[in-house]
Structure 1
Amino acid sequence: MNILVTGGSGFIGSHLTDSLISEGHTVTVVDDLSTGNSSNLSHLAGHPRLRMVRADFGNAQLVQDVCSEADQVYHLAAAVGVALIAKQPIQTIHRNIYPTQLLLDELRRLHILGKAVPLFIASTSEVYGKNPKSIWNENDDLVFGATTKPRWSYGASKAIDEFLALACVRECNMPVVIGRFFNVVGPRQTGAYGMVLPRFVAAAMQGNPLIVHDDGRQERCFAHVSDVVGAVTRLMNTPSAYGRIYNIGSDIPISILDVANRVRSIVNPKAQIEFQSYAKAYDEDFEDIRRRVPDLSRIRQAIGYEPRLRLDDIIHSVWDSMKQAASVGPR
């Protein structure tokens, strides 16, 4: 198949591209490298079944051109990372909504003309906002904070993407799958935008303190990118999955403080832990979610999904990739 991947030079997108190429597909990657990194796909440079387009996906003519040849589309291009979102809410809203609208409009046009192109839209656990439930399922309410808190612009903008996509499903039965990612981690993820695990591993490797925000008792569930990519491609090749939303990740919670201690024990037991307020890390208006755990019943039923790699395996995976990158040096 000819497959389009937006954001294909990013963390998850590059692993998805690897997987699709290995399966024999021809892949077009569109990425403006605003948060992606060309080195993530450098090992595929010159590959006859990979086409790289460095461009902003918010260009209607570009969207039309790349969609015309696509048999499937994976839309992962978006603003990412809590730090970036807190600092650039306008860019976050624009980058998350406008390109998605252009893409849906074009695929809807093709669908009406008789060409149905399956679409995967990468959403996020952030859409659940401050929902007080201990475990979130796909039908739960989305509970955002005040519009004066920039942090909520990300979840709200991704929720708009979901509304747009599901409207296309209802109006013309477009084949769309929405995946809500929960703390996906692994090699190639950067800590530059607030991602916690690569920050911890890099700090421990360098002998620096591991900076834990607030009291560290926030709970998250971490899934390896290979498990997540496998789930995404299986969903896209399961027609009964079309028109639905799926939580994708792990459902084993762990506190951020415990993650820091696990990283210390594996990477550098001599590394220290320091606590930092949200106000210092981001700004005084920042709000966080204390617990974020998905109900995976729907995706288990749909494709038999079960994450294989546990946290210690994931930490070793990230550490090994960082050691390898350090030995190679800048590219």
Structure 2
Amino acid sequence: MTQLYNSRKRILVTGGAGFLGSHLIDRLLDEGDEVVCVDNLFTGSKRNIDHLHGNPRFEFLRHDVCFPLYVEVDEIYNLACPASPIHYQHDPVQTTKTSVHGAINMLGLAKRLKCKILQASTSEVYGDPAVHPQIEEYWGHVNPIGPRSCYDEGKRCAETLFFDYHRQHDLKIKVMRIFNTYGPRMHPNDGRVVSNFIMQALKGEPLTIYGEGDQTRSFCYVDDLVDGMIRLMNSSDDITGPINIGNPVEFTIKELAKEILEKVKSKSSLVFVPLPLDDPKQRQPDISKAKELLNWHPKIQLNDGIKSTVSYFESFLDRAAN
């Protein structure tokens, strides 16, 4: 392993050109580590990592995790997978392959290198939950054959693989269940509610609300999320997870729409359309384990996080217009 010859860690981040991955890489580089960013750019963007190419501790590899990868690193963060319904439903078979084959390939690499590996799992493993808020011990309420199943079941299978590698090969694993995250560098057309509402409000278009807008979500700002991810990776080896990382403060979709309209100073109207199949009615993490084991809790309020995210999308639209 490289760390035997160098006190600086060399870290692999798959999906590193994506929204979460690029913020994670920024933080790791700020802490003095070397980073190998792997992405096939299906949903990731070079724009998210353009500012890093002059950094001698940063390396980009265009690669699909569905195929084996041979590199020498000290830690692996496995974030590769389309994460928004529009993207993961575009090619559902490939989405499942990315979660399952990608996990197998990265676990195999970690096994060979004898290094720690973190899986970016998701609150979608809980499906449309019958338990609220969601605790890690809850097994979920997931439709295995619906339009969202490629993502939900792919991530569930990836968790299975991680724990089987841990039990069978004594691999050092970390499994993190990510709840709704937002912030700068979100894809403008990813179909997620925060980016949808902001883009529609900035363009003066009606805000599209699915159902009555009474369904709830808990929104975690990306900086808080990355902090939780790094704390989990750096925790003692007996803390494997899964651990929920998200903001436990719950908002209805209509409340979110109102907050964004105020920040954008938009007079856009609201348009209500039918709720998609298997769309969860409630989503709120129980973060007791994160507080106890990682000394982690989110610090950035929705009001401040939305302000930063709106500023990013304003700049994005300005660049697109010029």
TM-score (norm 2): 0.93
Query: What residue number does 2:37 align with?
Result: 29
**Deviations, residues 213-243 of structure 1 (Å, cap 9, x unaligned):** 1111110000000001011111111124542
Deviation at 1:169, TM superposition (A): 1.1
Measure, in 2, the Cα distance between the counterparts of 1:325 and 1:248.
Answer: 28
Which of 140, 143, 168 is 1:142 aligned to?
A: 140
Query: What residue number does 2:125 align with?
Result: 127
Query: What residue number does 1:313 align with?
Result: 304
**Deviations, residues 137-196 of structure 1 (Å, cap 9, x unaligned):** 11111221251x121221111000000001111123211110100001000002422111
Query: What residue number does 1:327 align with?
Result: 318
**Deviations, residues 263-298 of structure 1 (Å, cap 9, x unaligned):** 11111241111111236xxxxxx2211001111000
Change (3 A) 1:132 1:191: farther
User: Is residue 94 from structure 1 mapped to residue 102 from structure 2 by the alignment?
Assistant: no
Q: CA RMSD in A?
A: 1.5
Q: Secondary structure at the match of 1:4?
A: strand
Which of 47, 67, 70 is 2:73 aligned to?
A: 70
Alignment-mate amino acid for residue 325 of structure 1:
F
Deviation at 1:91, TM superposition (A): 1.7
Alignment-mate amino acid for residue 94 of structure 1:
K
Alignment-mate amino acid for residue 34 of structure 2:
T
Alignment-mate amino acid for residue 10 of structure 1:
G
Measure, in 2, the Cα distance between the counterparts of 1:269 and 1:263.
Answer: 8
Which of 151, 155, 163 is 2:152 aligned to?
A: 155
Deviation at 1:327, TM superposition (A): 3.4
Change (3 A) 1:36 1:330: farther
Measure, in 1, the Cα distance between the counterparts of 2:194 and 2:256.
Answer: 8
Query: What residue number does 2:107 align with?
Result: 104
User: Is residue 266 from structure 1 mapped to residue 263 from structure 2 by the alignment?
Assistant: yes
**Deviations, residues 13-70 of structure 1 (Å, cap 9, x unaligned):** 000000001111110000010000100011112211100011212222xx1x22xx21
Which of 195, 199, 202 is 2:199 aligned to?
A: 202
CA contact (8 A) 1:177 1:241 kept: no
CA contact (8 A) 1:207 1:268 kept: no
Query: What residue number does 1:282 align with?
Result: none
User: Is residue 13 from structure 1 mapped to residue 21 from structure 2 by the alignment?
Assistant: yes
Structure 2: 5+ residue stretches without partners? 1-8
TM-score (norm 1): 0.91
CA contact (8 A) 1:231 1:248 kept: yes
Q: Secondary structure at the match of 2:49?
A: helix
Measure, in 1, the Cα distance between the counterparts of 2:230 and 2:137.
Answer: 23
Measure, in 2, the Cα distance between the counterparts of 1:150 and 1:24.
Answer: 42
Structure 1: 5+ residue stretches without partners? 111-115, 280-285
Q: Secondary structure at the match of 1:220?
A: strand
User: Is residue 168 from structure 1 mapped to residue 165 from structure 2 by the alignment?
Assistant: yes
CA contact (8 A) 1:253 1:293 kept: yes
Give the aligned length.
314
Deviation at 1:330, TM superposition (A): 7.2
Measure, in 1, the Cα distance between the counterparts of 2:253 and 2:288.
Answer: 25
